[in-house]
Amino acid sequence: MEAKPVSRYTTAARINHWVTAVSLVLLALSGLALFHPSLYFLTALFGGGQMTRIIHPWIGVVLAISFLGLFIRFFALNFWKPEDTVWMKNIGKVINAKDEELPELGKYNAGQKLVFWGQSLLIVVLFGSGIVLWDSYFASYTTIDQKRLAAVAHALCAIAAILIWIVHVYAAIWVKGTLRAMMRGNVSAAWAKHHHPGWYREVTGGK
């Protein structure tokens, strides 16, 4: 008899996640449209260049608020632990599914924690630099030099955030059963035992 699925995310957490994910994708598309003339065609997705410029910072506000919700929910689970360092040193074994001898993991592995903290830092910088560039409301509060610095920081952090997002999505698809957690809210017992045995024992009372 197959063991019962294990609850991993509440409905509220999943909604929070998908609002953040959709906001990030929309920001990436609208930001790329404004980044270089060769990508200007992407403004058609948002009603043209003027509307893209108006909408982009407001989507950023949505992302910041939504990600803050995720941060509050999950930051305590993403503190670095000694087993995370061991996991990183043996990433080859993890990739080749030979990680039986590695320390038991909690709810998140080292890779997931790096994604969490990396995006947390980048979103803070993106939001701060975005405020500096939002001339409709804040033009009088910043200098030209500050805007130039903010534009460079905003672009570099946006590229980094997009790359981390790609890795995050690829890993979720590559590790079969992971997407189920954010679609249904639960995972199979076998998935939990294999990928996060420490967390599985915790939520099942050590069974």
Q: Who's near 52: CB < 8 A, 6+ residues apart?
A: 30, 33, 34, 42, 43, 46
109 with 91: CB under 8 angstroms? no
Structural contact between residues 160 and 167, judged by C-beta atoms closer than 8 angstroms: no
Vertex 6, ends 68 and 21: CA angle to 5°?
30
Is residue 168 flagged as an active site residue? yes
Residue among 168, 194, 195, 196 flagged as catalytic? 168
Question: Which H helix or E strand runs over 66?
Answer: helix 49-74
Residues with active-site annotation = 168
